[in-house]
């Protein structure tokens, strides 16, 4: 038994590469977070979507709060130990009846981590049932290690580089990871997964947090940033990310721009090796 995950859930994660769903906060709290996200979008005339969906925990106090939610960090600790950095975060919105989708991929691709240990926690701000395009996974595929990916720049693909597994793999048995607003799913960095388009009348929004143990390093020549969210770091593999003191303040925007620039440079460097 871990702090949040049961022995059965931890075993399921080891065998299948994912756990879903886990209760985190109330529907009302999820709606409150979604209001803040959409209030910002409305006020600034932007979408926190493709091209502007990276690392919003550096810009908004409410996102930083979710990133450090004790229930989330307890679940991550159950799987990778007590010293944890938030390596990356993407917002994943899919508008009502939007054709946007995500092809089969592994999160590890282009992260360049060594050792490649990373957990994705996908937190639902709105309900994400199968018909809204929740994630579909290939159970056990995390044991395949890194598979080769190609880039597909179809503009309805939400991933920044349209990374898509381009070697054969068995997807005769898949499972979905539906989550309700306020719940999260957990998956391993090598788990092969995808998600379909949103066939509901509402916008489906989730936050995908990528956590790593502090001993993992990014092998890119660009030194990337990551927030120490729990425990201590005796390795110095990352530059620290400061917590936002003001929503979308000038200091916050400047740091966010720099952190995203470095993350993209690192991703480009890793992609060039493929």
Ligand X SMILES: O=C(O)CCC(=O)C(=O)O
- List interacting residues with ligand X (CB under 6 A): 92, 102, 107, 120, 122, 133, 135, 193, 195, 206, 208
For 131, counting Cβ atoms within 10 Å of its Cβ (0-12 exposed, 13-18 middle, 19+ buried), the class is middle
Closest CA to 206 of 8, 81, 110, 72: 72
Residue 254 CB, nearest distance to ligand X (Å)?
27
Residue 118 CB, nearest distance to ligand X (Å)?
10
Residue 92 CB, nearest distance to ligand X (Å)?
3
Handedness of CA 165, 169, 170, 175 (dihedral sign): negative
| Residue closer to ligand X (CB basis): 53 or 220 | 53
Residue 69 CB, nearest distance to ligand X (Å)?
17
Residue 232 CB, nearest distance to ligand X (Å)?
27
Distance (Å, whole) CA 210 – CA 82: 15
| Residue closer to ligand X (CB basis): 178 or 244 | 178
| Residue closer to ligand X (CB basis): 5 or 177 | 177
| Residue closer to ligand X (CB basis): 92 or 211 | 92
| Residue closer to ligand X (CB basis): 116 or 255 | 116
* Beta carbons of 59 and 252 less than 8 angstroms apart: yes
| Residue closer to ligand X (CB basis): 190 or 255 | 190
Residue 185 CB, nearest distance to ligand X (Å)?
9
Number of neighbours of residue 167 by Cβ within 10 angstroms: 9
Residue 230 CB, nearest distance to ligand X (Å)?
20
| Residue closer to ligand X (CB basis): 67 or 255 | 67
């Amino acid at each position: 038994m871990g702090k949040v995950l049961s022995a059965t859930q931890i075993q399921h994660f080891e065998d299948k590469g994912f756990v879903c769903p886990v209760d985190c906060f109330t529907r009302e709290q999820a709606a409150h977070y979604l209001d803040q996200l959409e209030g910002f979008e409305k006020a600034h005339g932007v979408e926190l979507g493709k091209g502007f969906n990276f690392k919003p925990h550096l810009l908004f106090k409410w996102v930083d709060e979710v990133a450090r939610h004790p229930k989330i960090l307890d679940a991550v600790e159950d799987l990778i130990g007590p010293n944890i950095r938030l390596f990356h975060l993407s917002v994943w919105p899919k508008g009502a009846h939007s054709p946007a989708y995500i092809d089969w991929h592994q999160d590890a691709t282009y992260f360049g981590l060594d050792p490649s240990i990373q957990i994705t926690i996908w937190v639902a701000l709105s309900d994400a049932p199968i018909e809204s395009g929740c994630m579909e996974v290939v159970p056990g595929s995390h044991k395949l290690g890194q598979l080769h990916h190609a880039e597909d720049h179809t503009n309805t693909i939400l991933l920044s580089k349209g990374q898509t597994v381009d070697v054969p793999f068995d997807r005769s048995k898949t499972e979905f990871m539906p989550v309700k607003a306020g719940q999260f799913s957990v998956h391993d960095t090598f788990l092969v997964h995808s998600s379909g388009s949103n066939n509901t009348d509402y916008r489906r929004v989730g936050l995908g947090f990528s956590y790593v143990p502090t001993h993992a390093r990014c092998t890119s020549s660009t030194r990337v940033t990551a927030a120490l969210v729990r425990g201590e770091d005796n390795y110095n593999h990352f530059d620290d990310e400061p917590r936002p003191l003001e929503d979308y303040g000038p200091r916050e925007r400047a740091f966010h721009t720099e952190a995203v620039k470095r993350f993209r440079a690192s991703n480009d460097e890793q992609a060039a090796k493929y």
